[in-house]
Structure 1
Amino acid sequence: MVMHNPYATYQNNSVTTSTPGELTLMLYNGCLKFIQQAKRAVEVNNLEDKNVAVQKAQAIISELMITLDVTAFPAAKDMLVLYEFANSRLIDGNIKNDSALFDEAAGIMTEFRDTWKQVIQLNRQKQYGNVSEI
């Protein structure tokens, strides 16, 4: 008999049924989660866990960078610069075991996440507004 993990099933369903905007929001939240894990690992001097968490955060930032269409959206070039800076803060924080550098990266990613969340909310309001007009 196969036992299923309900949490894993929920996570899988939430990813497969999410809109692209919601998936991007999940990436931002995941990045911030891994940065916090790295900060906690620095506090307890667990270098291995810190490194793994930083690498996961960097992988998410890399994914966000790859998906930017800088030719279609001029603002994407500015976003790319900020992603690169956040990534460099993670690298430096990892090398120097400096949580303040992780905080800088988290600050940038938090701004992106909060802005993206507002965009999703505005789009939902537009959709619901259009539905009520029908």
Structure 2
Amino acid sequence: MNGEEAVLAYRRQQVETASPAQLVVMLYDGCIRHCRAAQEAIAREGRDAAARHLLKAQDIVSELMACLNLDAGGEIATRLLRLYEYMYRRLVLANVRKDASAVREVEGLLVGLRDAWAQVASTPPATMQPASDRGAGPVA
């Protein structure tokens, strides 16, 4: 197994053994990483690279929207959906205009949400409500 294969195997294991909250944190981490890379690409006028990173960030925000359980999550899930929709629109606009300030805005929103989810993910399972009481899946 070469180095690249080892990294991929490690990442696969991380995903396969992660809790739903940890998976959401991983999504945030990836989206933040792509937002930062897009900003760097915009700064150096790498339009193609910026577009690739912004499209990946849009895909991740779409996945966060798809993960929402609006029935179980109630008002919080509905507000998150609205926020994700806003972020998605800002990323599309940033991609069309190569607008680093729009990407920075989305990154700031993501960092705040990521920190909150990281706290949830680090909460010991015994202190969390059982999954059967919450409904299926995370409320992302």
Give the TM bin, normalised by the shorter chain. Answer: 0.7 to 0.9
Structure 1's consecutive aligned runs of 4 or more residues displaced over 3 angstroms after TM superposition are 123-127
Match of 2:15 in 1: 15
Match of 2:44 in 1: 44
Deviation track 1:43-64 (CA, whole Å, cap 9, x = no partner) reads 1111111111001011010011
Q: Does the alignment pair 1:71 with 2:75?
A: no
Q: When the two structures are aligned, how many residues end up with a matched partner?
A: 126
Provide the rounded CA distance (Å) in 1 between the counterparts of 2:84 and 2:115: 15
> In the alignment, is the contact (CA less than 8 A) between 2:19 and 2:121 conserved in 1?
no
Amino acid aligned to 1:12: R
Provide the rounded CA distance (Å) in 2 between the counterparts of 1:71 and 1:124: 22
Aligned ranges for residues 1-134 of structure 1 at < 5 Å? 3=2, 5-74=5-74, 75-123=76-124, 126=127
User: Considering only CA atoms, is the larger Rg found in Structure 1 or Structure 2?
Assistant: 1
Deviation track 1:70-123 (CA, whole Å, cap 9, x = no partner) reads 122221110000001111111111111111100111111111101101112233
Using the size of structure 2 for normalisation, the TM-score is: 0.83
> In the alignment, is the contact (CA less than 8 A) between 2:25 and 2:114 conserved in 1?
yes
CA RMSD of aligned residues (A): 1.7
| Structure 1 residue 3, shift from structure 2 partner | 4.3
Specify every segment of 5 or more residues in structure 1 that has no aligned partner in the other structure, as ranges. 128-134
Using the size of structure 1 for normalisation, the TM-score is: 0.86
